Amino acid sequence: QIMVNTYEVNTTSGDPPSEVITKYCSFYVRCLWLTHLVSNCSCNVRVKLTLVAQSPNGHNIIKNFERKFPIESKCGYGFPQFIAFQDLLNDEKGFIKDNTIVVEAKVSADRPYGVIMRSNEGNIFGTIQRKCVDLNPEVIYFTNESECNIVFKVEGKQIPALKELLIYKSNYFRSMFSGNYTESEDKEIEIQDTTHEAFKTIIWYLYSHELAIDSEDMLIGLDFQYEVYRLADRFQIKRLLIYFENQFKANITEENLELGNDVSVYSSDGQMLGYGGFSNASPLSNFYKTSFTYNGHHFEYSECAIMYEKAITFGDQITADKVLKCRSPWMAKRLGREVKPFDAHKWVEARDQRVPQILYAKFTQNPALKKWLLSTGSAVLAEVAAQDIAGHMKYQDPIWGVCIGAYHKDILWPTEWHRYGHNFLGNTLVSVRQTIAHEITVMRFV
């Protein structure tokens, strides 16, 4: 838990001890996850430092320091500095030996992922960084109002949190607090479309890497588990997604068929492929992470490419640039709602033309995804509404999806879907699949 580094600093002839120590023996401490902070973030770091100066007669002079530094993140992270040279200077004047001063530093920090960094003033020395294990677990900051600097409001209840830790743990929160969005300045943020307990479970997992859900029986609290899974996808928590997906696939039953569909499992009749439009586990989803190039730009989600084209359609270059920079499809979707000026009829015309092109680029530039799409054969594809076992809708999109859930009486009758939703995404995927299959057929006869 304590890191020990020994630095030998070569001095130049004529440098007095005070100047040598001032130039070359200042130690800086920072938190690794603060490298992602924005200008309005700050926190405190408590650091213990032990300096050992070796005198010519071989005796070590030990000085201990302990200070609590406020870190203001103006350029991504702060550099609190120990000014220790006054304590190192005394009557012995024995700190320089053969133009070399030896300083040993032992550092411990009460924040995670601490490092110690040697000054490289004048570009004389290369930067040295070493990881330092935190002495206290992150869970001590969970809902600790005195240590938190942001409050989430869910279902009217408050959940205090540490903004810097969320930035480090989640790409979604990193985008949210990047300074380009209104939330970056807010002290209180309202989270909608979820429950207080589910969101609190997500925050706890980010702090502790532990899931407060019984993994022995996946049928216990199935609705609650689905909600936590949906939030894990929303906030881009990959490990939690993998955990749930493996559990759902290993425990597919009639009761949790929806969950199976949501992680790309075929329905029992084999005719329809149901999938959750907001699950990055399904290659058919616009929220599935994969690299492709479209219109001269690199994208990792087809959702981002679609929202970029939406902004470009209306000449909103500012929003378009934000979409290019964001790392979360959820954030891209939100940015798409902010496009100005917006005309629904104009967007429908542009969408019908560009979405097929985007999906074509996504699948043709990734052989594995192309093979996956073609493997669906002649199956009818649809974005089904997220629905719990009791039949309550959790998410529904009448434009991109069929707007009914996996348990609806008409879900196996595609001819009836028009009564509920347009299924634009499903129909477009079928069209792209036909185009790719036709190209392969033509190539065989060329």
Which region, left, alpha or beta, applies to residue 224 given φ > 0 means left and ψ of -120 to 50 means alpha? Answer: alpha
pLDDT at position 422 is 87
96-110, 148-162, 227-241, 296-310: which range is least confident on average?
Answer: 96-110
Q: What is the DSSP string of 420-439?
A: T---HHHHHHHHHHHHHHHH
Per-residue model confidence as pLDDT tens digits over 404-424: 776 677 777 778 888 888 889
- Look at strands 100-109 and 42-54 and give their pairing: antiparallel
In angstroms, the CA 199 to CA 193 distance is 10
Asked if residue 352 has pLDDT above 70, the reply is yes
Residues 389 and 304 in one domain: yes
Instruction: Return the structure tokens found at 265.
Output: 């499992």
Distances (CA, A) of 130 to 76, 104, 353, 354: 19, 14, 52, 48
In angstroms, the CA 153 to CA 186 distance is 12
CATH of the domain at 282: 1.10.357.40
pLDDT at position 59 is 52
pLDDT at position 232 is 84
pLDDT band at 122 (very low <50, low <70, confident <90, very high): very low
In angstroms, the CA 222 to CA 315 distance is 45
pLDDT band at 308 (very low <50, low <70, confident <90, very high): very high
Residues 234 and 268 in one domain: no
Mean pLDDT, the chain, as a whole number? 65
CATH of the domain at 58: 2.60.210.10
Asked if residue 29 has pLDDT above 80, the reply is no
Instruction: Return the structure tokens found at 421.
Output: 């939703």
Residues 235 and 289 in one domain: no
The answer as to whether 124 is a domain residue is no
The answer as to whether 132 is a domain residue is no
Q: For residue 236, give the nearest of 193, 290, 276, 279 by alpha carbon.
A: 279
Residues 279 and 369 in one domain: yes
Last residue of a domain, one of 221, 251, 281: 251
pLDDT band at 264 (very low <50, low <70, confident <90, very high): very low
In angstroms, the CA 319 to CA 340 distance is 9
Distances (CA, A) of 142 to 16, 112, 195, 212: 49, 14, 18, 14
Residues 279 and 425 in one domain: yes
Residues 267 and 345 in one domain: yes
Q: How many domains does the chain have?
A: 3
Asked if residue 259 has pLDDT above 90, the reply is no
Last residue of a domain, one of 95, 114, 133: 114
- Which of the two residues, 305 and 239, has the higher pLDDT score? 305
In angstroms, the CA 382 to CA 427 distance is 7
Task: Look at the chain and count its residues.
Answer: 446
Query: Cα torsion at 89, 90, 93, 94 (round to 10°)?
Result: -80
Mean pLDDT of all residues in 395-401? 75
To which residue do tokens 């790309």 refer? 264
Query: Which DSSP symbol is given to 32?
Result: G
Distances (CA, A) of 123 to 8, 126, 127, 288: 16, 7, 9, 44
Three-state SS at 281 = coil
Residue type for position 33: W
Residues 242 and 273 in one domain: no
66-72 long-range contacts, Cβ below 8 Å, gap at least 24?
68/44, 69/29, 69/44, 69/45, 70/42, 70/43, 70/44, 71/30, 71/31, 71/34, 71/42, 71/43, 71/44, 71/45, 72/42
pLDDT at position 127 is 31
Residues 280 and 184 in one domain: no
Q: Find the helix packing angle between 222-234 and 238-250, rounded to 10°.
A: 140
pLDDT band at 112 (very low <50, low <70, confident <90, very high): very low
125-134, 174-183, 201-210, 272-281: which range is least confident on average?
Answer: 125-134
- Domain with 303 in it: 263-445
pLDDT at position 147 is 67
- Which of the two residues, 205 and 264, has the higher pLDDT score? 205
CATH of the domain at 243: 3.30.710.10
The answer as to whether 184 is a domain residue is yes
Residues 6+ apart with CB under 8 A from 81: 26, 27, 28
Residue 35 burial by Cβ neighbours in a 10 Å radius (0-12, 13-18, 19+): middle
Q: For residue 335, give the nearest of 304, 366, 314 by alpha carbon.
A: 304
Asked if residue 263 has pLDDT above 50, the reply is no
The answer as to whether 80 is a domain residue is yes
pTM (predicted TM-score):
0.44
Residues 334 and 439 in one domain: yes
66-70, 144-148, 318-322: which range is least confident on average?
Answer: 66-70
Per-residue model confidence as pLDDT tens digits over 269-278: 323 333 333 3
The answer as to whether 133 is a domain residue is no
CB 45 within 8 A of CB 29: yes
Q: Is the peptide bond before 341 cis (omega within 30 degrees of 0)?
A: yes
Residues 108 and 146 in one domain: no
In angstroms, the CA 323 to CA 334 distance is 10
pLDDT band at 222 (very low <50, low <70, confident <90, very high): low
Last residue of a domain, one of 251, 282, 305: 251
Residues 287 and 237 in one domain: no
Distances (CA, A) of 341 to 119, 180, 261, 305, 352: 50, 19, 37, 19, 19
Residues 318 and 418 in one domain: yes
Instruction: Give the dihedral sign, CA 344/348/351/353.
Output: negative
- Which of the two residues, 246 and 148, has the higher pLDDT score? 148
pLDDT at position 102 is 41
